[in-house]
Amino acid sequence: MYPINFNYRMPAEWSEHRRTFISWPVQASMCHPEDYETVCKGYTEIIQAVAEFEPITVLVNPDDSKALCSIFTDKRIEFLEIEHNDAWLRDNGPTFLVNNLGQLAGVNWRFNAWGGKYESWDLDDRVASKLLEYFNIKRFDASLVMEGGSLHVDGEGTLLTTEECLLNQNRNSELTKEQIEAELKNNLNVRKVIWLKRGLEGDETDGHVDNIACFAAPGKILLQVCNDPNDGNYEITRTNLELLQGETDARGRSFEIIPIQQPPKLYDPETGARLTLSYLNFYFVNGGIIFPVFGGQAAETDELAKLTLTRIFPQRRIRTVNGMGVIREGGNVHCTTQQMPTGINRL
C-alpha cells in the first residue's frame, strides 16, 4: 500500500529552506495581553535573526500590515495578509513536503487550538490552506487534528513524537494509536514512528516533542535531560532516554543520543505556573541555528547548551535570541516558525 502522498516526503528541518514563515502576534488571543509590547519585541528579534540567514514572510492581520511595514525595512522580510487568531505558525500552518523533482506540496492538518484550550480558532484552521493557495502549492487535506510542534522527522523515514500529545483525548479521540500512526505514515511518507511517553512538565501543548527531543542528523538525537530527582522532569526525561536507547530508526540504526541539561526551574510570577523552558525549541536556518537563551540563573546552562550545539554543528552559526521574550505565551522560537524547504539536503 502506497502512502497517500507517496511522491512526496517531509524533509528534515536542516534541509535547505526557500524561506521561513512566521505569524505576527494577536493581542486579543494572548494569554497575557498586557505583555503585547514585550511579546512583539520578542517576535521582532526572532524575525530579524532569521532574516540574517534567509528570506522570511510574516503573516499579518490586515490591521497590522501598515505599521509593520514601517518597522521592518530589511528586504528579506516580506509581509502577507492572512487573517489568524493566534501566532503559533508551527502548529496551525502547513507541513511542507517535497518530491524528487523539488516540487512542493503541503499538508493541511486540522487544528483545534491545542485540544480546544483557546477560543476562537476558526481563522487559524484556515491559515494553512490560504498560505498554500497564495503560493500555488499542491495541498493535501489531512483528517488528523495535528500541530507541527508535535512531530520531528529525520528526512529518512523516521518520525519522533509523544504519546502524551498525539494520544490525548482532546485531539483525535476516535482513533487508536495504530490508526494515528498509519495516518502519519500516509501523510508524511515516513516508515517508522517513535513514540516518546511525555513532554516537559507543565507544557500546555500536552507534551509537544519540539520541547524535549529533536533529530540533529539521521541516527542522532538531541534530548533535554534533568538530573534533579525532585524535579518533575527527572522521571519524564529518564523514561524517554531509556526508550530511545532501545530504539532504532527506519533504516535500523541505533541512535547516538546527545543530552542537553535543562535550564533551572522558572515560574510565572503572576500565575505560579512553571514556564516551559527548552533549549531544543531552536530553529534550523540556512547556515545557522536560531537558539533561545534565558539568562539570569540559566546563564550557565545557556552557555553549556550553546557549546554543545557549536560542537555538533560546526558549520552553522549559533544565533542566540532572548528566550524569555515570548515564553509566558507558552512557546518559543521553533513554535513561532515554519520552514518552506527547497528539497536540497544540507546538514
Q: Which residues are catalytic?
A: 335
User: Are 237 and 223 contacting, i.e. CB atoms less than 8 angstroms apart?
Assistant: yes
User: Which 8-state DSSP code applies to residue 296?
Assistant: G
Of 319, 212, 206, 208, nearest in space to 257 by CA: 212
- What's the sign of the alpha-carbon dihedral 63, 68, 70, 71? positive
What's the sign of the alpha-carbon dihedral 137, 141, 146, 152?
A: negative
Q: What is the DSSP string of 174-199?
A: TS-HHHHHHHHHHHH--SEEEEES--
Positive or negative: CA dihedral 296, 297, 301, 305? negative
β-strands 288-293, 77-81 pairing: unpaired
DSSP assignment of 220-278, as one string?
A: EEEEEE---TTSHHHHHHHHHHHHHHT-B-TTSPBPEEEEEEPPPP-B-TTT-PBP---
Residue 29: partners with Cβ closer than 8 Å, 6 or more residues away: 85, 86, 87, 118
Cα–Cα distance measured from residue 32 to residue 27, given in angstroms and rounded to the nearest whole number: 8
Q: Residue holding cell 557549546?
A: 307
Identify the bridge partners of residue 22 per DSSP, sorted by sequence position.
Answer: 58, 337
The phi, psi pair for 15, rounded to 5°, reads -65, 160
